[in-house]
């Protein structure tokens, strides 16, 4: 054995950062279409986000 490390994959692009206020606006929930599916992103009264299908 030579003690060399295996090649490391190049890092992926960092994820895009979005502000929840930009998504929700004045609303407390939005619908998000992903392919043929629709998801609901909801802001709770405890200021948490819930994503449901």
Structure tokens at 5: 């490390």
The overall pTM is greater than 0.85: no
CB atoms within 10 A of CB 46: 5
Say what the pLDDT of residue 12 is. Answer: 84
Going by the DSSP 8-state scheme, the letter that residue 20 receives in this structure is H
Provide φ and ψ at 22, rounded to 5°: -70, -30
> How far apart (Å, rounded) are the C-alpha atoms in residues 30 and 24?
6
- What is the separation of C-alpha 5 from the centre of its chain, rounded to a whole number of angstroms? 32
- pLDDT tens, 16-44? 999 999 999 999 999 999 999 999 999 99
Q: Number of helices and strands (H, E) in the chain?
A: 1, 3
């Amino acid at each position: 054995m030579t003690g060399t490390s295996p090649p490391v994959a190049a890092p992926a692009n960092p994820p895009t950062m979005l502000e929840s206020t930009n998504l929700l606006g004045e609303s407390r929930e939005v619908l998000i279409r992903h392919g043929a599916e629709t998801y609901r992103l909801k802001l709770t009264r405890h200021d948490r986000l819930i994503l449901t299908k």
